[in-house]
């Protein structure tokens, strides 16, 4: 009888996002959650009591003793890089929560180490699996749009500053709305248009509410009372990306803005057709008329389940890598470029 394969999984970082990962991984009998490392005693107590998972305060000790097949990196952004390198050296494959790292240099180093040691790396992107995104992506891949000309993608909160964690601290997070939620919108639309190579970026970022104690107290919002004293990241970010195929993309995201548009959406314009995510439509010409195409039915899909099952299948059974590290690098290069353009006041080459 052939012994069933089981993926031995460990977590570095045991906060909210790690628990979300664990909830999905625990649904599968070909995964064993072996350990978690976190500096918080309260977090380790949760994992022991609620999930019966042993904990370590030092991830290096965990890597040495547990010898996991896969490590899920769920730390704050500034702690993605070193634990990733250490886990690779310890013999583990990697599943890194978005963004991949603090900057593209760190991403390249992680990729280089993974290739050197023959390890697999997947990134925690999930919005590309949304059925509407898949519908548009398939139509583009099949040539229904012709050459892509321009796209606009946004993820806006009218007033939505996280009042937990370190989301407002640049040294620990790398930035504000752009690196936290803009990354979701960017990877989703970039995937839909065929993952073209970015070549140049321009943009700007602004802080005008997040660091103002009066504005933080005087307007009702969903997450009041964020820490304005340590807040040194952007409230609003706008960028334009030029790609090697001649197309451009505009990216907008905000923790705060004076407009009613909220949530994630994108529009795409090609030579033969265009599209909008919400409400889902494809615009084209047919039978001598301008027509709008709307699917009669779009199935509901748990994009987290698709993401997690995809990671298991890739790591354990050599299935396709649905969100490879190279995608994490390309997205990070764009984020880096917008921040660099904001600092220099000019368009910058992607590097």
- The confidence band for 2, taking pLDDT boundaries of 50, 70 and 90, is low
Peptide bond into 151 cis (omega under 30): no
Cα separation of 315 and 312, whole Å? 5
User: What average pLDDT is seen over the chain?
Assistant: 96
Predicted confidence (pLDDT) at residue 340 exceeds the cutoff of 70: yes
Mean pLDDT of 168-189: 97
CATH 3.30.420.40 for the 7-119 domain, yes or no: no
Predicted confidence (pLDDT) at residue 287 exceeds the cutoff of 90: yes
- Which pLDDT value is given to residue 50? 93
Predicted confidence (pLDDT) at residue 1 exceeds the cutoff of 60: no
Q: Do residues 69 and 9 touch, judged by C-beta distance below 8 A?
A: yes
Q: Positive or negative CA dihedral for 124, 125, 130, 134? A: negative
Looking at the DSSP bridge assignments, the partners of residue 192 are: none
Q: Do residues 333 and 176 touch, judged by C-beta distance below 8 A?
A: no
CATH 3.30.360.10 for the 130-301+331-349 domain, yes or no: yes
Claim: this prediction has a pTM higher than 0.85: yes
- The confidence band for 216, taking pLDDT boundaries of 50, 70 and 90, is confident
Query: Domain segments of the chain: what residues?
Result: 7-119, 130-301+331-349
Provide the 10 A C-beta neighbour count for residue 64.
11
């Amino acid at each position: 009888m052939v012994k069933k394969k089981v993926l031995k999984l460990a977590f570095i970082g045991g906060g909210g996002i790690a628990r979300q990962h664990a909830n999905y991984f625990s649904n599968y009998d070909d995964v064993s959650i072996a350990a978690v490392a976190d500096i918080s005693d309260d977090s380790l107590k949760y994992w022991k009591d609620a999930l019966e998972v042993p904990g370590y305060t030092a991830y290096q000790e965990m890597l040495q003793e547990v010898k996991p097949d896969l490590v899920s990196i769920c730390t704050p952004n500034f702690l993605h890089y070193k634990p990733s390198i250490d886990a690779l050296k310890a013999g583990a494959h990697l599943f890194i929560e978005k963004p991949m790292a603090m900057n593209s240099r760190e991403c390249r180093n992680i990729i280089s180490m993974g290739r050197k040691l023959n390890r697999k790396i997947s990134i925690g992107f999930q919005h590309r699996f949304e059925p509407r995104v898949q519908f548009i992506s398939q139509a583009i891949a099949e040539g229904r749009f012709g050459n892509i000309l321009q796209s606009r993608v946004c993820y806006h909160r009218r007033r939505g500053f996280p009042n937990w964690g370190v989301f407002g601290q640049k040294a620990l997070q790398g930035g504000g709305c752009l690196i936290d939620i803009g990354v979701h919108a960017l990877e989703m639309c970039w995937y839909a248009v065929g993952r073209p190579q970015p070549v140049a970026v321009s943009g700007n970022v602004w802080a005008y509410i997040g660091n103002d104690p009066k504005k933080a107290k005087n307007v009702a919002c969903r997450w009041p009372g964020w820490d304005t004293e340590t807040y040194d990241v952007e409230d609003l970010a706008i960028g334009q990306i030029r790609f090697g195929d001649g197309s451009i993309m505009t990216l907008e995201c905000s923790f705060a803005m004076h407009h009613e548009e909220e949530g994630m959406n994108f529009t795409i314009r090609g030579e033969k057709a265009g599209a909008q995510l919400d409400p889902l439509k494809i615009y084209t010409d047919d039978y001598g008329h301008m027509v709008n195409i709307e699917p009669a039915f779009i199935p509901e899909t748990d994009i987290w389940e698709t993401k997690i099952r995809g990671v298991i299948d890739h790591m354990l059974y050599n299935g396709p890598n649905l969100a490879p590290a190279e995608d994490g690098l390309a997205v990070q290069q764009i984020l880096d470029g917008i921040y660099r353009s904001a600092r220099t006041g000019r368009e910058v080459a992607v590097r």
